[in-house]
Amino acid sequence: MAKTKKRSNAPKDDAGETPWNRPISRRDFVKTGIAASGVAGAAVVVGGKGGLQALQVGTLPVTTVPADPFAPRLVTLNVNGTSTQVQVSPRTLLVDVLRDSMGLIATKKACNRMTCGSCTVLIDGQAIEACGYLAVRAAGHQIVTPEIATKDPVVNALQQAAPIADMGQCCYCNPGIIMAATPLLRQNTNPSVADVKAALSGNICRCGNYMHIINTVMLAAQNLRGGS
């Protein structure tokens, strides 16, 4: 069975480890957050200069620029198998449309900078942070949120296993982790612990409940195999 790749946003410490491979303290988490915000700040400065240059040397005729490129527009989003039209600005994030326009609040918003994985949803079967994904870009794709529940056997198995294996302390990370674990269990109902850690490497649990979360995924996998 092929090894599951780590998520691209997996936070790492100085030794290159994700929190899934070592105990994480509150201090570790604060340090990770400060480092991430520093990187993001630098990117804004560089991007700002690049944007200015593009404006100065750009050759696009003015007539090709819409009067208001940020004007809201109607897009159709397919969420949990149902198509819904929503009005969004081109810069509105998918997490905000799901939570604020569609009332799907099981998708959590915490860091809002693609670091913690709380907002993970599935887009065409792939785990994606909805706080880093524009809603307009999601039009025409299949979006799955934790609200799909019993309609998806894998999501259902994970949700059923969660209270049995004590997945949550505060539970805030749980919906995003269930979404992140779903693609793994769809492909492989007999994963190793290393597979589970890799699949969840983009998610942080502030309560440090990592062992119980891994046990939840392993129990869900066992139940999907028929209890063997």
Is residue 207 a contact point for ligand FES (CB under 6 A)? yes
Cα separation, 27 vs 25, in Å, equals 5
- Provide, rounded to whole angstroms, the least separation between the CB of residue 116 and ligand FES: 4
Residue 136: exposure state from Cβ atoms within 10 A (0-12, 13-18, ≥19): middle
- Provide, rounded to whole angstroms, the least separation between the CB of residue 61 and ligand FES: 38
Beta-bridge partner residues of 74: 87
Is residue 205 a contact point for ligand FES (CB under 6 A)? yes
Part of the chain binding ligand FES (CB under 6 A), chosen from 45-53, 115-123, 148-156, 215-223: 115-123
Please, which residue, 136 or 188, has the CB nearer to ligand FES?
136
Please, which residue, 104 or 173, has the CB nearer to ligand FES?
173
Binding mask 157-196 for ligand FES (x = CB under 6 A): -----------xxxxxx-----------------------
E-only strand ranges, 20-158: 73-79, 82-88, 120-123, 126-129, 142-144
Phi first, then psi, for residue 216 (nearest 5°) are -60, -45
Binding residues among 91-110 for ligand FES as defined by CB under 6 A: 109-110
Is residue 19 a contact point for ligand FES (CB under 6 A)? no
Look at residues 205, 194, 138, 206 and name the one whose alpha carbon lies nearest to residue 2.
Answer: 194
Part of the chain binding ligand FES (CB under 6 A), chosen from 24-32, 40-48, 57-65, 199-207: 199-207
Can you spell out the DSSP letters for 26-40? HHHHHHHHHHHHHHH
Please, which residue, 198 or 205, has the CB nearer to ligand FES?
205
Is residue 114 a contact point for ligand FES (CB under 6 A)? yes
What angle in degrees, to the nearest 10, is found between the helix axes of 210-224 and 174-187?
40
Please work out the total of residues on this chain that contact ligand FES, with binding judged by CB under 6 A: 22
9 to 66, 117, 199, 225: CA distances (angstroms): 34, 9, 11, 30
Please, which residue, 172 or 189, has the CB nearer to ligand FES?
172
DSSP assigned state of 140: T
List residues near ligand FES by CB under 6 A.
109-112, 114-119, 129, 131, 168-173, 205-207, 209
